[in-house]
Amino acid sequence: MFKKAFILFSLIFSLLYISARARDLIDSGELKIRLNQVGFYPAAPKIAIVLTDKGNTFSLQTVNKKTAFNGVLKRSAQPDFAGNYTWIANFSVYNKPGTYTLNIPGIGNSYPFIISSSVHSKVADASIKAYYFMRASIPLTEKYAGKWQRAEGHPDDKVLIHGSAESAGRPESTVISSPGGWYDAGDYNKYIVNSGISTYTLLSLYEDFPDYVKTVKLNIPESGNQLPDLLNETLWNLRWMITMQDPGDGGVYHKLTNAEFDKMVMPDAATAPRYVVQKSTAATLDFAAVMAQASRIFKQFPRQLPGLADSCLGASTKAWEWAQKNPNVLYNQTAMNQKFNPKVITGEYGDGNVNDEFIWAASELFVTTKNDKYITAINIIPDDNMPLPSWSNVRLLGYYSILRNREILANTTFKDIPKLKQNLLAFADDLVKDADDNAYQTVIQKKKANFIWGSNAVAANEGMALIQAYQLSHDKKYLKYALSNLDYILGRNGTGYSYVTGYGDKTPMHPHHRPSVADNIVDPIPGLLVGGPNPGMQDHVRVPSTVPDEAYIDDDKAYAVNEIAINWNAPFAYLANALEALQNKTTN
């Protein structure tokens, strides 16, 4: 009896002791000092945000506890969305490479961080390598995937034509082969609309920074084949996209999908029947745009990829022609489900307005062919609308392409390049205006409305837009603000998370990502950007705070804040890699 009581008592005592120790070990500085947990370029701006209600000094300390720099916190000009002012530690002038912590008397130490050239190179590589982990129809072997090796999932060589997709040559239930491609996100379906912007964004990284991209080595099965690895990875998806075009009429199926989302299982255990569903104007134009872009890029590799550039251009023009004849076939899943079985309830990617898809496809075809008939056919370029790119808003993607290729287009009859340039720079100026005033001194933090489903991609796409502005103007202020959003993603934000799995000290461990949930490996697959703060709670998981930039939880059921997706990783990959390529131009 005594013995039992004693054992119980010692057990309770040790548990209490362990949890008290664990609490002591969490330095409140790590929670209250928000900074890019990966690090800083020597010459770039370096800022940490401190959650405190009063002024203070701060110091930078080396690993040997030597003080390297002293400074004074400055109060933010504006409060955060919860109404609190923050305090800013600006140590931009300190530029000596090394590993440091930021110390604030009475608060504690930040996570350690690095000041170094190429400081983002590992996370930048990982952001692209993430796509290898998203591949359908191939086993991931230990050589490339390490402990995340897994069996092949979704061969997709026997895909059914859904009733909504039938055509003369392909009646309902015809079996087609549509292997490869990347899984969209936490789910295993493959959606053309979302593939479009994702593939474009990665290809744009190559178009903007070819010399840098050639140095990026990813350790994927194709590595060493004389093509840059980024292009190798992108081809995995592009070749799948090609199979989504109906050879009969050139229209493109909206998606390849199960009827319902899979359970949280590994890819090889997800064996529900797969369908291609109805063609849509949005999917067809997004396809036309990406194929036109791919054509001009792969034309540079005729020896490695004989015939591919021509096939892509042929596919693009056929898709364009289909869209001319079918200019307003919108994908409305509810309407489709009233007519056909099985009912399909996976991601919709429905878009009520395809003007911007026309602008994008016309722009890419124009850049690739230099024939302005595509632009005159639609008569809406340039419109004055400049919304940030997203899967449903793609006109800027076309403008980026025209502007990055402006020199080779100078002799065409298209005379609006100066106007496009002016509009894009005005858009970028608007993004950076007063960005130093908000509580985190980042571009994304300017507006509550940025905190939607996939808000981290808003940050990344703003960063990409600013890089485009830099490329056009060589004005370094745009790099400074692009970097502010990279700092945001990697920790200088309202939750203190670095939102990229595996990079930073406090990173998501439970993304809504089926392989990461089902593989029995503690660490999630690395290099994945989670959706990020969004107070909408569309997944019915309660977030700890509904303050827009704090509305986040690292919970694998919380798909409205903690899923991952190819269209979010792509602008992040663009931003991190573009800044690596331009690091020598950063200045504070």
Give yes or no for residue 559 binding ligand 9MR (CB under 6 A).
Answer: yes
Q: Tell me which residues in 346-405 interact with ligand 9MR (CB under 6 A).
A: 347
Smallest gap from residue 560 Cβ to ligand 9MR (A): 8
Helix (H/G/I), strand (E/B), else coil: 453: coil
Q: Which residue is nearest to ligand 9MR (CB)?
A: 187
Mark residues 324-353: x for contact with ligand 9MR by CB under 6 A, - for none. -----------------------x------
Could you say which of ligand G3I, ligand 9MR, none residue 481 binds, taking C-beta under 5 to 8 angstroms by partner kind? none
Residue with tokens 């590992």: 122
Q: Which residue is nearest to ligand G3I (CB)?
A: 347
Out of 87, 453, 478, 499, point to the residue binding ligand G3I (CB under 6 A). 453
Out of 187, 229, 233, 351, point to the residue binding ligand 9MR (CB under 6 A). 187
Give yes or no for residue 188 binding ligand 9MR (CB under 6 A).
Answer: no
Q: Partners of 58 in the beta sheet?
A: 71
Q: Tell me which residues in 239-278 interact with ligand 9MR (CB under 6 A).
A: 261
DSSP code per residue over 156-215:
-SSEEEPGGG-BTTB-TT-EE-----B--BSS--EEHHHHHHHHHHHHHHHHH-HHHHHT
Active-site pick, 30, 286, 554, 580: 554
Active-site pick, 187, 249, 364, 550: 187
Smallest gap from residue 201 Cβ to ligand G3I (A): 14
Smallest gap from residue 559 Cβ to ligand G3I (A): 6
Query: Is the link from the previous residue into 418 a cis peptide, with omega within 30 of 0?
Result: no
554 among known catalytic residues: yes
Count of residues of this chain found to bind ligand 9MR when the rule CB under 6 A is applied: 7
Q: Tell me which residues in 509-568 interact with ligand G3I (CB under 6 A).
A: 536, 538, 559, 563, 565
How far apart (Å, rounded) are the C-alpha atoms in residues 191 and 253? 9
Give one word for 470, left, alpha or beta, with left for phi > 0 and alpha for psi -120 to 50: alpha
523 among known catalytic residues: no
Please, which residues have CB within 8 angstroms of residue 89's CB and are 6 or more apart in sequence?
Answer: 33, 47, 48, 49, 50, 58, 71, 73, 102, 104
Mark residues 420-449: x for contact with ligand G3I by CB under 6 A, - for none. -----------------------------x
Nearest to 189 by CA among 130, 246, 270, 288: 270
Q: Between 299 and 557, whose beta carbon lies closer to ligand 9MR?
A: 557
Q: Between 558 and 576, whose beta carbon lies closer to ligand 9MR?
A: 558
How far apart (Å, rounded) are the C-alpha atoms in residues 401 and 424? 12
Helix (H/G/I), strand (E/B), else coil: 509: coil
How far apart (Å, rounded) are the C-alpha atoms in residues 403 and 203? 15
Give yes or no for residue 153 binding ligand G3I (CB under 6 A).
Answer: no
Q: Between 33 and 185, whose beta carbon lies closer to ligand 9MR?
A: 185
Cα 577 to its chain centre, rounded Å, is 12
How far apart (Å, rounded) are the C-alpha atoms in residues 453 and 170? 36
Could you say which of ligand 9MR, ligand G3I, none residue 261 binds, taking C-beta under 5 to 8 angstroms by partner kind? ligand 9MR
How far apart (Å, rounded) are the C-alpha atoms in residues 162 and 275? 6
Helix (H/G/I), strand (E/B), else coil: 71: strand
Q: Between 349 and 481, whose beta carbon lies closer to ligand G3I?
A: 349
Out of 102, 123, 140, 185, point to the residue binding ligand 9MR (CB under 6 A). 185
Give yes or no for residue 385 binding ligand G3I (CB under 6 A).
Answer: no
Give yes or no for residue 555 binding ligand 9MR (CB under 6 A).
Answer: no
Count the Cβ atoms, other than its own, within 10 Å of residue 300: 12
The single-letter code of the amino acid at 149 is Q
Helix (H/G/I), strand (E/B), else coil: 498: coil
512 among known catalytic residues: yes
At 70, give phi and psi (nearest 5°): -120, 145
Residue with tokens 């994304």: 444
Out of 29, 186, 389, 491, point to the residue binding ligand 9MR (CB under 6 A). 186
Active-site pick, 120, 512, 513, 555: 512
Give yes or no for residue 187 binding ligand G3I (CB under 6 A).
Answer: yes
187 among known catalytic residues: yes
Q: Between 400 and 559, whose beta carbon lies closer to ligand 9MR?
A: 559
DSSP code per residue over 529-545:
BB----TT-TT-PPPS-
- Contact between 561 and 495 (Cβ < 8 Å): no
Smallest gap from residue 276 Cβ to ligand G3I (A): 16
Out of 382, 454, 491, 508, point to the residue binding ligand G3I (CB under 6 A). 454
Residues labelled as active-site residues: 187, 512, 554, 563
Which positions touch ligand 9MR (CB under 6 A)?
185-187, 261, 347, 559, 563
- Contact residues for ligand G3I, defined by CB under 6 A: 184-187, 347-349, 390, 449, 452-454, 536, 538, 559, 563, 565
